[in-house]
Amino acid sequence: MKSPHDNVLRQDADLVRAPKRDEPSAVTLAADAEDHRIAALAALAITIHILETALPMPLPGVKPGLANVVTVCALLLYGWRVAAWVAGLRILVGSLLLGSFLSPGFVLSVSGGTASLVSMIAARRLIPGLSAIGHSVIAAVTHMSAQFLVAYWLFIPHSGLLHLLPVMLTAALVFGLVSGTVAKHAIAHYGEV
């Protein structure tokens, strides 16, 4: 006697069987030009991110943020979706390669990266014609502010930390200007990547 579940089980088995040699796969993913562009930009950003870790840091938590140059260029040349993919892949893959995935540094990186990306997207919509330097400064200051708030709320809830805020924001402003200048020249020189 057949159970009503026999037919369902047979259908499920057909879904998970391996395709035959001459049969095409059930799932085919084709990469388009935008996928290749995202991959190339993300690879560049990840490489810069990893190389940046070898630079000596003047203060804990202060880095030049040169990998953000790629995100700024992606946003201004290709739009927010490409920039979001590049930033997200840089943070995720960079943390996996450096061994900091799910560490406090990863949490700070995600919070800063998300805040800076959202602020750049908002600035692009609210301030038409804003330069790469303007986007980079906004991103750097927002990134540092978000990291500082998360560090204060989650890791170091001590008022003494607030004494570092002016120094950190000044460093973010300076590095934002430097990264923005590099992004401006990269866009002018290379245009479409």
| CATH code, domain with 45 | 1.10.1760.20
Q: How far apart are CA 172 and CA 4, in angstroms?
A: 66
What is the C-alpha to C-alpha distance for residues 77 and 113, in angstroms, rounded to an integer?
19
Residue 41 belongs to some domain of the structure: yes
d(CA 74, CA 183): 10
Q: Is residue 21 situated within a structural domain? A: no
What domain range includes position 73?
Answer: 33-190
6 within domain boundaries: no
| 166, 56 Cβ separation under 8 angstroms | no
**Sequence-ordered strand ranges (E) for the chain:** none
pLDDT number for residue 26:
65
Q: How many domains does the chain have?
A: 1
Does the pLDDT value for residue 193 go beyond 50?
Answer: no
pLDDT in tens, 75-127: 999 999 999 999 999 999 999 998 889 988 899 999 999 999 999 999 999 99
Q: Tell me: the pLDDT tens digits for 121-169?
A: 999 999 988 999 999 999 999 999 999 999 999 988 888 888 888 988 9
Check whether 22 has a pLDDT greater than 70: no
Note whether residue 14 is domain-resident. no
Average of per-residue pLDDT values in the chain: 85
Task: Give the per-residue pLDDT at 120.
Answer: 94
What's this model's pTM, rounded to 2 decimal places?
0.78
Which H/E stretch holds residue 97? helix 80-98
> Residue 26 domain-assigned?
no
Please write the tens of the pLDDT for every residue from 34-81. 888 999 999 999 999 999 888 887 777 678 888 999 999 999 999 999
The distance in angstroms from the start CA to the end CA of the chain is: 65
25 in any annotated domain: no
* C-alpha torsion sign, points 142, 143, 149, 150: positive
* Res 85: pLDDT: 95
182 in a structural domain: yes
Which token pair is 140? Answer: 């750097």
User: Has residue 7 been placed in a domain?
Assistant: no
